[in-house]
Amino acid sequence: MSKKNILVLFGTRPEAIKLAPVIIELNKNTDSFNTTVCVTGQHREMLDQILTFFNIVPDIDLNLMTHNQSLTELTSKILLEVDTVIKNGNYDYIMVQGDTTTVFTSAIAAFYNKVKVIHVEAGLRSFDFEHPFPEEFNRRSIASFTNIHFVPSEHAKENLLKENIDSIKIFNVGNTVIDALHYALPIVNKENDSFQKHFNQIDFNKDIILVTGHRRENFGGPLQAICEAFKEIVNQNHVQIVYPVHLNPNVKETVHQLLEDQNNIHLIPPLPYPQLIWLMNQSKIVITDSGGIQEEAPAMGKPVLVTREVTERKEVVESGNAIMVGNDKAKIIELTNELINNPDLYNKMSNATNPYGDGDSSIKMVNILKSIE
């Protein structure tokens, strides 16, 4: 049987985290696959940190990131550049992960060039094009022409079946974010002392609440309401909030304006993946609008409050790992206080079963790809 030529394309930190275990597994099977790694650089600095941590050296780096570029600019640049990459190669498959502009545009370029598309973490749906924007549009659009859908859960599989996607194209393999955690945690745990020194401004004798936020739908008024809730939480409880602030100026300016001088709120730069994982493991509660962290935190037994109106990761809500709080200031305060003061609720959420598998998703994917003619 001839080798399959696979182009793995990604551009952001979350994509890199979730594709790294797959790339590592593909590279263990050089008798079956020729694997080419191409990055768009949609997240430049944060992407490079992940590549270094997982020891991945891209074969092609398009380096398309520019400051505060529009979706239209980014989409057009990626489409043209990826089209050239495809035309210069001889690929049987293009593998993408998730729902970013890189994913959407690279999949279109593959479709235009009649190259088969493998979509990792397919089938996620919020059923609202505005939440998240533009990710819901991106993932629903490429589903119609994807050839292999690797879904993270039965819920995601059902979504695709309802869209009349052929069942023989859908494979429930779990979520590769758990694979990445299994790879990372042993490394991170060895660095415990150095990480403790790195975060010496944080009093770990208090309960830590880890916060992240970057979604476009929370820009402006919603993010202001969320920040106002954080002020009340630290005033009412013996806790500290640690907030690695996203570099997007729409996030950074609002957060620093409202929270910079608040006692017991630490605003820090975005963290490298290993430091983020370590800090999450030290935290009591996680408040986030991040998709990946909705998956990672439950795997570490951390209750999650999701600052979004809807989530495509309904499994973590249904399993009891997470609660939706949106940008409702009162609801954020109420549920955070309850998690801090109500051990029954806390234990129920922290001990809920993670719905995303056991960390063998990458092996399952590679075995499936080997078996497909």
Q: What is the pLDDT of residues 332-360, one digit of tens each?
A: 999 999 999 999 999 999 998 888 888 99
Homologous superfamily of 4-175+357-371: Glycogen Phosphorylase B; (3.40.50.2000)
Domain 192-350, CATH among 3.30.70.20, 3.40.1440.60, 3.40.50.2000, 3.30.56.10: 3.40.50.2000
Tell which phi-psi region holds residue 41, choosing left (phi > 0), alpha (psi between -120 and 50) or beta: left
Asked whether the predicted pLDDT for residue 182 surpasses 80, the reply is: yes
Locus of tokens 């979520």: 175
Band of residue 41 on the pLDDT scale cut at 50, 70, 90: confident
- Going by their DSSP bridges, the two strands 116-120 and 60-61 should be labelled as unpaired
Tell me if residue 98 falls in helix, strand or coil: coil
Asked whether the predicted pLDDT for residue 43 surpasses 90, the reply is: no
* Residue 373: both structure tokens together: 């003619």
* Residue 68: both structure tokens together: 């505060």
Band of residue 49 on the pLDDT scale cut at 50, 70, 90: confident
pTM above 0.85, yes or no: yes
First and final C-alpha spacing in the chain: 9
* Tally of CB atoms within 10 A around 309: 20
Tell me if residue 307 falls in helix, strand or coil: coil
Q: Which regions of the chain carry the CATH code 3.40.50.2000?
A: 4-175+357-371, 192-350
**What average pLDDT score do residues 44-63 get?**
90
Are 4 and 29 a contacting pair, CB within 8 Å? no
Q: How far apart are CA 159 and CA 156, in angstroms?
A: 5
Q: How far apart are CA 86 and CA 113, in angstroms?
A: 7
Query: Annotated active-site positions, please?
Result: 99, 121, 135, 214, 216, 246
Of 161-170, 230-239, 240-249, 323-332, where does mean pLDDT reach its minimum? Answer: 240-249
Asked whether the predicted pLDDT for residue 173 surpasses 90, the reply is: yes
Locus of tokens 């994509």: 15
Instruction: Return all residues near 212 (Cβ < 8 A) that are at least 6 apart.
Output: 243, 244, 246, 286, 287, 288, 289, 290, 293
